[in-house]
Amino acid sequence: MTITTVALDADDTLWHNESIFHLTQDQYVGLLKDYGEPNHMKARLQEVEIKNLNLYGYGVKSFTLSMIETAIDLTRGAVPAKTIAAILDLGRAMLEHPVEPLPGVAETLATLKDGGYRLIMVTKGDLMNQEQKLARSGLGDCFAAIEIVSEKDANTYRRVVARQGVHADQTVMIGNSMKSDVLPALEAGLWGIHIPYHITWAHEHAEPPADSPRFAKLETISDVPGWLKQQQ
């Protein structure tokens, strides 16, 4: 079956994201250096983040709330107001951070679009923040549709292809997360391409499929046009 539709994750597939979270986490630990050992603080922050996902969802705003909650916990309620203000400043800085497309992204998207492929961005996170990042990236005109979802599971991908009027077996999902971008897409009947980013959030770790003819791992997004040509 010929692939006609290319769905792409955004964060850490189209532009840098997790590296910004790691930088902010280091700054956060510096703010709280008097209240614990750095690795313990990072581990506790991750526990709080994951606990809050069902309530706050994904994204910078959720992360900021989790940083504040963790600070209250680590200081046993004694966190100074000026530290809370500094944490809020960290969150604002993340929201305002320049959006830097990864190498080869702009060129590859242009090649795919010119080649007649329908491009769909499928990303999870905060609606406003993701829309702002797409606008600042300069990549918006490449996409025929944008899907910003609260979670990525097999049913999400089934709903996306249904809304877009495309066939699952003619659609490939590309992303850096095996857990969110590849495995549920394969379960929903799509093809899946994993392009690793140099940092992966622990919550997104998963093992690759044992044996799937619809799965591929590529080194960079620049390899996608050649892979698609091989499937014709």
151: left (phi over 0), alpha (psi -120 to 50) or beta: beta
**Is the same domain home to 109 and 158?**
yes
Q: What is the spatial distance between Cα 182 and Cα 191, in angstroms, rounded to a whole number?
A: 8
**Is the same domain home to 208 and 118?**
yes
Going by C-alpha positions, the residue among 105, 180, 169 that lies closest to residue 143 is 105
**Is the same domain home to 156 and 197?**
yes
Q: Please report, in angstroms and rounded to a whole number, the separation of the first and last CA atoms in the chain.
A: 8
**Is the same domain home to 115 and 76?**
no
Confidence (pLDDT) at 166: 96
**Is the same domain home to 106 and 199?**
yes
Give the model confidence (pLDDT) of 17-60 as tens digits.
Answer: 989 999 999 999 999 999 989 999 999 999 999 999 989 989 99
Confidence (pLDDT) at 232: 81
Whether the CA torsion 152, 158, 159, 160 is positive or negative: it is positive
Banded model confidence at residue 1, pLDDT cuts 50, 70, 90: low
**Is the same domain home to 184 and 122?**
yes
pTM of structure? 0.91
Confidence (pLDDT) at 109: 98
Q: Please name the residue that has the structure tokens 């930088």.
A: 23
At 86, which CATH number? 1.10.150.240
Confidence (pLDDT) at 110: 97
Which residue range(s) make up the domain with 200? 5-15+100-230
Angle subtended at Cα 215 by Cα 156 and Cα 19, rounded to the nearest 5 degrees? 70
**Is the same domain home to 125 and 148?**
yes
Confidence (pLDDT) at 212: 87
Q: Are 180 and 205 in contact (CB under 8 A)?
A: no
- Model confidence at 225: pLDDT above 80: yes
**Is the same domain home to 50 and 9?**
no
**Is the same domain home to 62 and 104?**
no
What average pLDDT does the chain have? 94
Going by C-alpha positions, the residue among 29, 31, 17, 28 that lies closest to residue 97 is 17
Q: Are 102 and 15 in contact (CB under 8 A)?
A: yes
**Is the same domain home to 175 and 223?**
yes
**Is the same domain home to 9 and 82?**
no
Confidence (pLDDT) at 216: 96
Report the number of distinct structural domains present in the chain.
2
**Is the same domain home to 40 and 126?**
no
Give the model confidence (pLDDT) of 51-94 as tens digits.
Answer: 999 899 899 999 999 999 999 999 999 999 999 999 999 999 99
Question: Around 6, how many Cα atoms within 13 Å sit in the side-chain half-sphere?
Answer: 25
- Model confidence at 124: pLDDT above 70: yes
Confidence (pLDDT) at 21: 93
Q: What is the mean pLDDT of residues 188-193?
A: 98
Q: What is the mean pLDDT of residues 173-184?
A: 96
Residues 6+ apart with CB under 8 A from 232: 2
